[in-house]
Chains A and B, each alone.
Chain A
Amino acid sequence: MVQYTGPRLDASFAALSDPTRRGVLEQLGRSDASITDLAQKFHMTLTGMKKHVGILEEAGLVTTEKIGRVRTCRLGTRRLEDEMAWLERYRQLWEARFDELDTVVQELKKKERIDGRAKRR
């Protein structure tokens, strides 16, 4: 079950790498829409939009529901926890940088003290 998260997250990044798909997410953030609506808004064929929505759905970013002949798309529920993981990873990148910055700053402080002493002599 844990294994599930790896490929899923890759799928999210892949899904988000395309400007049309990001646009679709933004659109669905404002309101639910049918695939036909989305195809029209993004000046795209129905088949093209189906493909994009399929990728977003696979990544769990969008859910769809078919009522009668209309397939309605809405935002998926899975976004927040992954975003938290992003932020945590981002924090770790910065923490690694700041740890090295600490070292550089300590060295410079030490050098200043030594230079200061040398000058006073």
Chain B
Amino acid sequence: MDARKEGEPTPMKNRTTVDRTSDREIVVTRTIDGPARIVWEAFTKPELFKRWWVPKSFGMSLLTCELDVRAGGSYRLVFRHADAGTMAFFGRYLEVTPHSRIVWTNDEGEGEGSVTTATFEEKGGATRLVLHDLYPSKEALDAGIGATEGMPETMDQLNELVVSLRTKQ
């Protein structure tokens, strides 16, 4: 009868892998403990999407989150970061197959942006998520990763990380 606080069991955390599969491609994988149609919902409904795409630890807030998830539809995300001001990310959906596959462009990169293919594979009530980024060139990929770290404080974190990796050696 009483509302339990955070009473739900915490699901086991699954592993996130990132691989640079070629000069122009990066593949991110993760299994999510839930059916594909629910993971799909979290990807396609703005009110859900904005809750996870910008984790609190990023130190950013999402000012605009417009997702018109259908082939030919467009999206626009505008972030505000305390140090870096606002940043817009936008593009178009090339392919939308409910509960299974979304392909979108990342057009903020002025021709250097990647095309992202997200696939949802359900197995035993869990969904294996594969995000595949294809860049127009190797240099675009290098610059693209660089841009992900484009914020001053992430750069610091990156430096700290490199330092800690080297200290371990």
Contact = CB atoms under 8 A, between A and B. Distances in A.
The size bracket of the interface on A is 35 or more
A112 B34 CA distance: 11
Contacts of B57: 96
Interface in B62-81: none
A114 B34 CA distance: 16
Contacts of B51: 100, 103-104
Nearest to A12: B146
Contacts of A97: 52-53, 55
B17 interface: yes
B13 A90 contact: no
A5 interface: yes
A105 B18 contact: no
Given A98-B32, A100-B51, A88 B38 contact: no
A44 B11 CA distance: 58
Interface string A62-96: 00000000000000000000111111111111111
A116 interface: no
**Most chain A CB neighbours (cut-off 10 Å) among B11, B30, B53, B148:** B30
A22 B145 CA distance: 14
Given A22-B143, A86-B145, A109-B38, A96 B58 contact: yes
Contact of B16 (A16, A23, A91): A91
A53 interface: no
A118 to B, nearest CB: 16
Interface string B137-153: 11100110110110000
B123 interface: no
Interface in B2-58: 8, 11, 13-14, 16-20, 26, 28, 30, 32-35, 38-39, 41-42, 48, 51-53, 55-58
Contact of B32 (A85, A90, A101, A112): A101
A103 B167 CA distance: 34
B158 interface: yes
B42 A86 contact: no
Contacts of B8: 106, 110
Interface of B: 8, 11, 13-14, 16-20, 26, 28, 30, 32-35, 38-39, 41-42, 48, 51-53, 55-58, 129, 131, 137-139, 142-143, 145-146, 148-149, 154-155, 157-159, 161-163, 165-167
Which A-B residue pairs are the 6 nearest by beta carbons?
A100-B52, A105-B34, A96-B55, A91-B18, A22-B139, A101-B52
Given A16-B146, A90-B26, A90-B145, 5 more contacts: A2-B163, A5-B166, A85-B162, A89-B149, A97-B55
